[in-house]
Chain A
Amino acid sequence: MNLLQIIEFLRRNLKTVVLGCVAVLILTVAADVVRWAMTAHSTETVAEEHASGFWATLFHVAENVPVFWTVFGFLGCLLLVIVSKAVIGPIVSKHEDFYDE
């Protein structure tokens, strides 16, 4: 079975592939909850020591709240794309022959 046949096999079974991907997403989240439950959480004293200002609070949340990075990845991607495409893009994007004139 060569590479092209493998790709076409996956494309023929796209529904299954998508379901598999969704399962991986769910597993990733579940694994993080398990990891969180099994690790000892930083005590209040440690948290208070650092918890001053926005970044320190965010760091505390990232360390101690499960699935923080899931939200970060999902929203971060939307944020980056929206800022780039809706704000920066219209300012800097010109037609293809812009410099040729």
Chain B
Amino acid sequence: MSNLWIHPSLLLIGGALLLPLIPKAFKKAFLLGVPLLTFGLVLSMLGQPAAAHGQILFLNWTLTFGRVDSLSLVFAVIMSGMCCIGTLYGMHVEEDAQHSASWVYVSGSLGAIFAGDLLTLFLFWELMAFSSVFLIWFRRRPESTAAGFRYLLVHVAGGLSLLAGLILYVHATGSIAFNAFNIQHPSGAEYLILIGIILNAAVPPLHAWLPDAYPEGTFNGSVFLSAFTTKTAVYALCRGFAGMELLVWLGVIMALYGVVYAIIENDIRRLFAYHIVSQVGYMVAGVGIGTALAINGACAHAFAHILYKGLLFMGGGSVLYMTGETRMSQLGGLYKKMPWTFLLTLIGGLSISAFPLFSGFVSKSMIVQAGFDNPHLYWAAFFLMLAAIGTFYCNGLKVPYFVWFGKDKCSPAVRDRAGDPPWNMLAAMGIAAFFCVFLGCYTPALYNLLPNQAAAHAFHAYTPFHISETLQVLLFTALSFFLLVRLKKIEPHAGTNVDLDYFYRIGGRAFLWLARKPVQLVDTAVGEIYRVGGLVPLMKSATLVGLFDNHVIDGAVDGIASSVRGIGQRLRGVQRGAMQDNLTVGFAIVAGLILAFLFFKGFSS
């Protein structure tokens, strides 16, 4: 065997950097080729013995970039696979930067999964946050820009907690290895690391960034967003905190919290986002239960979830892309225009609802079964069954009914635009739908990948009791739903549902109001100096650069010029004097400086 081990993230980052230089004729092939190559590379690691590759000596520490074992591989397989599907879905998007951002995002996720030490984990953790925010900003609505900044701020705070925990942990133990922590008596450092991770897993009360940001992403960006951040956090929890009882509580709260908000939600993509919170709740509860079966369940559910949630977001994205509308109070009756989108989204809805023969059935049941195996956890298992009702109610019934059937509340413009999306979007949805059914029907495909093989072979999803139990719960949920529809009790209404992001949205505003007068004064003065001293020369030099660019290197580095322009536009946003943006950037810079200081201090002591 060769010692050469290529990190899959390298392929994606390299691809992201090369993408602007690829001639148009080869672009589509390149867009498909890079993720497929990455996926193939990950698949080629299956069956090889667990090993630590890519070890680099850094100061006194050994950084491990490639810890390959059954736990990291099951996540890496589905993440790289989803990258192929997501890229195919958005393949017709002409803007290279969107594809580059999503590939860098996936590479951050893969890097975190293969990381064998906390420092490497942190590095890729931050790469994920800073690349994924572009998938929100590229929608270019004012709401998206604001949501992106909130997303970034929350993730910087989470990253800071992770980093602080990491430094304290390394200081206390002298080891940077990322293995199971002391879950019986966690230290303060371990709690800080846990907070950093569960923020990314969107555990209440640290969840509000998710339903705030994901529905504001681009139609294809949200497909990526739905898959990677939270499931990477689930991986990190499996690795570090398996069996921690606190997580059972948090997981059950999440599962129900997401369902309740989804039931009153009007926007389909926000509804799906709340169901990420709910479904990740199952995984977090599984990690908390911590038995071999439960960890298998958390991994299997993450695997199945990435496919069906991606499929649901692709369905929601298709509705957005084709009609420009995602509010159920403004949709309805679309089956005539978008029948295939309906069918494929319905498959996603049935999969997330754990219908027999669909993927959720074979994965969710492991977690619930692990709860029923322990008399002290019966309560958790019953609450998870209750959340399953809400899951089917929203994804399998409410969305398909009120978007594709029900009363037609579309505006004429929406109705005219509606139609099944381009072939590549339908193909991506078809592939995801195929795997949702395939995993549900052929269980070894998923079970052979799971980390605890003995428990995976001992578990059977398709027992008479379990099939009967699930069918009863789901079919009578459907009966309940149609009775409520007949009674006209559940018509979707326009409205905003306030979540915990209220506090930082309104709190931030109050802070701004207080600060406005003195800070505005200084800001105006500085802005004036800046304009005279900085902006005018900058404009002059930009004109010169523009001339040089136009006449000398325009043809050759068109792609680079366009990305410089993109950065310039972003910089212009900073100079515009919008208080909120200035403060955000200011805080980010200060936070960065503090981080750098702590970082080097931590290593020099």
Contact = CB atoms under 8 A, between A and B. Distances in A.
Contacts of B372: 59
A82 B335 CA distance: 29
Contacts of A99: 496, 505
A78 B386 CA distance: 11
B260 A69 contact: no
A84 B264 contact: yes
A96 interface: yes
A95 interface: yes
Contact of B479 (A7, A35, A74): A74
**Highest count of chain A CB atoms <10 Å: which of B336, B476, B489, B494:** B476
B194 interface: no
A93 interface: yes
The secondary structure that dominates the B interface is: helix
B469 A69 contact: yes
A93 B497 contact: yes
A39 B465 CA distance: 9
B230 to A, nearest CB: 22
Interface stretch (B47-55, B87-95, B375-383, B567-575): B375-383
A16 interface: no
Nearest to A33: B468
A92 B465 contact: no
B443 to A, nearest CB: 21
A51 B471 CA distance: 26
Contacts of B469: 69
Contact of B495 (A21, A35, A55, A93): A93
Contacts of B477: 73-74, 76-77
B412 interface: no
A3 B336 CA distance: 10
Contacts of B479: 25, 74
Interface in A1-33: 2-4, 7, 21, 24-25, 28-29, 31-32
Question: What size tier do the contact residues of chain B reach?
Answer: 35 or more
A67 B472 CA distance: 8
A26 to B, nearest CB: 10
B360 interface: no
B490 A31 contact: no
Nearest to A96: B494
Interface in B505-540: 505
Given A35-B465, A81-B263, A96-B496, A28 B386 contact: no
Contacts of A79: 386
B259 interface: yes
B321 interface: no
A32 B389 contact: no
Interface in B426-477: 464-465, 468-477
A93 B264 contact: yes
B389 A73 contact: yes
Given A24-B475, A78-B480, A83 B465 contact: no
A35 B472 CA distance: 13
A81 B393 contact: yes
Given A39-B465, A73-B477, A74-B480, A84 B263 contact: yes
A89 B386 contact: no
B379 A92 contact: no
**Highest count of chain B CB atoms <10 Å: which of A29, A59, A77, A80:** A77
Given A58-B382, A80-B263, A69 B495 contact: no
Nearest to A100: B143
Contacts of A25: 475-476, 479
Nearest to B376: A55
A73 B473 contact: yes
Contacts of A76: 385-386, 389, 473, 477
Nearest to B404: A7
B393 A77 contact: yes
B496 A85 contact: no
A55 to B, nearest CB: 4
A41 interface: no
A92 to B, nearest CB: 5
Sorted nearest first, the 9 A-B pairs with minimum C-beta distance are A73-B476, A77-B480, A73-B473, A55-B378, A69-B472, A84-B263, A74-B476, A70-B472, A77-B477
Interface of A: 2-4, 7, 21, 24-25, 28-29, 31-32, 35, 39, 50, 55-56, 58-59, 67, 69-74, 76-81, 83-85, 88-89, 92-99
